[in-house]
């Protein structure tokens, strides 16, 4: 997963960031793909730790709650928020496109 992150998701994030700066239409799908890849990596990380019974994590409460769950939780919350935002923007674009298509169809049928 680290190789996929380094050679595919990393450049995709840079591309998506550039696309947001110049408002490219594909910025939301690119960002959504990157966020989902990040969430997949997070799921693998937490699942493998849980599968091993957290054997490789330190047992001190401060470490466990602040570092393991708190700091690593940022890598779940931020991509999840980005994914939700991107899905909402894609949905809004589809609704607008459908509304325009419906308006054009209605306008075209009234001309006949």
Number of neighbours of residue 55 by Cβ within 10 angstroms: 8
User: What pLDDT is attached to residue 84?
Assistant: 98
Q: Angle, nearest 10°, between helix axes 72-110 and 27-51?
A: 140
- In terms of Cα–Cα distance, which of 80, 70, 73 is closest to 39? 80
> Do residues 59 and 110 lie in contact, with contact meaning Cβ atoms separated by under 8 Å?
no
10-residue block means of pLDDT along the chain (112 residues)? 84 95 96 96 91 86 89 94 96 89 66 50
* DSSP-derived secondary structure letter, 7: I
Kindly report the pTM of this predicted structure. Answer: 0.81
CA angle 27, 89, 73 (to 5 degrees): 80
User: What pLDDT is attached to residue 57?
Assistant: 80
Number of neighbours of residue 5 by Cβ within 10 angstroms: 16
């Amino acid at each position: 997963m680290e190789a996929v992150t380094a050679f595919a998701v990393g450049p995709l994030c840079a591309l998506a960031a550039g696309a947001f700066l110049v408002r490219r239409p594909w910025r939301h799908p690119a960002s959504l793909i990157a966020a989902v890849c990040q969430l997949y990596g997070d799921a693998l990380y937490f699942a493998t730790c849980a599968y091993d019974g957290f054997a490789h994590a330190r047992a001190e409460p401060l470490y466990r709650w602040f570092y393991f769950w708190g700091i690593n939780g940022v890598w779940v919350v931020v991509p999840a928020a980005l994914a939700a935002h991107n899905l909402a923007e894609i949905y809004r674009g589809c609704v607008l496109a459908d509304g325009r298509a419906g308006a054009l169809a209605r306008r075209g049928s009234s001309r006949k």
